[in-house]
Amino acid sequence: MSSRSLLSGIKPFPLFLESCKRLAPWALARNPVMMVVAIGTVVTFAFALWHYSQGLPWRLEMVLFLILLATVLFANGAEALAESRGRAHANSLRATRQNLTARRRGANGGIDEISADALRRGDLIEVEAGELIPADGDIVEGAATINESAITGESAPVLREAGTDNSGVSAGTKVLTDRIVIKVSNDPGDSLLDRMIALVESAKRQRTPNELALSVLLAAMTLIFLVVVTALVPMGDFLGAPLSVPLLVALLVCLIPTTIGGLLPAIGIAGMERALRANLVAKSGKAVEVAGSIDTLLLDKTGTITLGDRRATAFLPLPGVEQSALREAACLASFADPTPEGRSILTLALDQGTTVAANEHADFIEFSAHTRLSGADLPEGRQVRKGATDAIRRFVEEQGGHYPRTTDGLVEQVASKGATPLVVAENHQVLGVIALSDVIKPGIRERFARLREAGVRTVMITGDNPLTAAAIGAEAGVDDVVAEATPERKLALIREEQRKGRLVAMMGDGTNDAPALAQADLGLAMNSGTQAAKEAGNIVDLDSDPGKLLEVVEIGKQLLITRGALTTFSLANDVAKYFVILPALFVVALPNLGALNLLELHSPDSAILSAVLFNALIIPALIPFALRGVRVRPGSADATLRRNLLIFGLGGLLLPFPAIKLIDLALAWML
Sort strands 280-282 and 101-105 into parallel, antiparallel or unpaired: unpaired
Q: Does 239 bind other proteins (CB under 8 A)?
A: yes
Q: Which lies closer to other proteins via its Cβ, residue 364 or residue 578?
A: 578
Distances (CA, A) of 271 to 19, 561, 648: 20, 11, 20
Report the distance separating Cα 562 and Cα 270, nearest Å: 11
Is the CB of 163 or the CB of 649 nearer to other proteins?
649
> Which x/- pattern over 472-511 shows residues binding other proteins (rule: CB under 8 A)?
----------------------------xxxx--------
C-beta of residue 367 within 8 angstroms of C-beta of residue 337: yes
> Which of 259, 334, 407, 567: binder of other proteins (CB under 8 A)?
567
- From the CB of 218, what's the least distance to other proteins, in Å? 10
Q: Does 557 bind other proteins (CB under 8 A)?
A: yes
Give the integer Cα–Cα distance in Å for 662 and 656.
10
- The least distance separating other proteins from the CB of residue 84, rounded to whole angstroms, comes to 26
Between residues 71 and 644, which has the closer beta carbon with respect to other proteins?
644
The answer to whether residue 552 forms part of the interface with other proteins (CB under 8 A) is: no
The distance of closest approach from Cβ of residue 535 to other proteins in the complex, given in angstroms and rounded to an integer, is: 24
Cβ proximity of 374 and 411 under 8 Å? no
- From first CA to last CA, the distance across the chain in angstroms is 38
**Active-site amino acid positions:** 300
Check residue 159 for interaction with other proteins (CB under 8 A).
no
Closer Cβ to other proteins, 300 or 521, answer by number:
521
Q: Contact between 648 and other proteins (CB under 8 A)?
A: yes
3-state secondary structure (DSSP) of residue 241: coil
| Strand 457-461 relative to strand 480-482, pairing | parallel
Candidates 20-28, 350-358, 390-398, 578-586: pick the segment binding other proteins (CB under 8 A): 578-586
Q: How far is the CB of 550 from other proteins (least distance, A)?
A: 14
Query: What is d(CA 91, CA 97) in angstroms, rounded to the nearest whole number?
Result: 10
**234 touches other proteins by CB under 8 A:** yes
Cα–Cα distance measured from residue 565 to residue 560, given in angstroms and rounded to the nearest whole number: 8
For the bound state, the minimum distance from the C-beta of residue 81 to other proteins, rounded and expressed in Å, comes to 23
> Residue 522 Cβ, how far from other proteins at the closest point, in Å?
12
The reply to whether 600 sits near other proteins by the rule CB under 8 A is no
Coil, helix or strand for 140? strand
Q: How far is the CB of 287 from other proteins (least distance, A)?
A: 12
Size of the site for other proteins (CB under 8 A): 76
Q: Are 656 and 576 in contact (CB under 8 A)?
A: yes
Task: Pick the piece of the chain touching other proteins (CB under 8 A) from 85-93, 140-148, 223-231, 601-609.
Answer: 223-231
Q: What share of the chain is helix, strand, coil (3-state, %, to 5)?
A: 55, 15, 30
Give the binding range for other proteins (CB under 8 A) out of 2-10, 213-221, 297-305, 608-616.
Answer: 213-221
| Residue of 39, 27, 33, 25 lying closest to 219 (CA atoms) | 33
Phi, psi for residue 652 in degrees, rounded to 5: -65, -30
Name residues contacting other proteins, limited to 607-636 (CB under 8 A). 632, 636
**Is residue 350 a contact point for other proteins (CB under 8 A)?**
no
What Å distances lie between residue 246 and 48, 72, 74, 613, CA to CA? 8, 16, 20, 15
Site map 414..453 versus other proteins, x via CB under 8 A: --------------------------------------xx
| Residue 424 · residue 385 · CB < 8 Å | yes
Instruction: Tell me phi and psi for residue 374, to 5 degrees.
Output: -145, 170
Closest approach of other proteins to the CB of residue 490, in Å: 20
Identify the residue among 17, 42, 111, 227 touching other proteins (CB under 8 A).
Answer: 227
Q: Which of 70, 348, 392, 572 binds other proteins (CB under 8 A)?
A: 572
Residue 230 engages other proteins in binding (rule: CB under 8 A): yes
Minimum CB separation from other proteins for residue 628, in Å?
A: 15
Q: 640, 654, 655, 657: which one contacts other proteins (CB under 8 A)?
A: 640
Question: 131 near 125, Cβ under 8 Å?
Answer: no
Ranges of H-type helices in 405-453: 406-416, 444-453
582 binds other proteins (CB under 8 A): yes
Is 595 near other proteins (CB under 8 A)?
A: yes
Cβ neighbourhood burial of 586 (10 Å; 0-12, 13-18, 19+): buried
Please select the residue that binds other proteins; options are 474, 575, 666, 671, rule is CB under 8 A. 575
For other proteins, give the closer residue by CB, 325 or 647: 647
Least CB distance to other proteins at residue 662 (A): 24
Among 365, 374, 392, 383, which Cα is nearest to 426's? 383
Nearer to other proteins, 385 or 457 (CB): 457
Choose, by CB under 8 A, the member of 57, 209, 338, 379 that binds other proteins. 209
**H helices, E strands: number in the chain:** 25, 22
User: Taking the complex as a whole, how short is the minimal distance between the CB of residue 594 and other proteins, in angstroms?
Assistant: 9
Which residues share a beta bridge with 461?
300, 482
Q: Does 250 bind other proteins (CB under 8 A)?
A: no
Q: CB–CB of 526/546 below 8 Å?
A: yes
In angstroms, what CA-CA distances link 232 with 53, 249, 289, 571? 27, 12, 40, 20
Range 371-400, binding other proteins (CB under 8 A)? none
Identify the H or E element spanning 125: strand 124-128
The yes or no reply on residue 564 touching other proteins (CB under 8 A) is yes
Pick between residue 42 and residue 227 the one whose CB is nearest to other proteins: 227
**Contact region with other proteins (CB under 8 A), list: 76-84, 348-356, 359-367, 556-564:** 556-564
Residues 266-305 interacting with other proteins (rule: CB under 8 A):
289-290, 292-293, 295
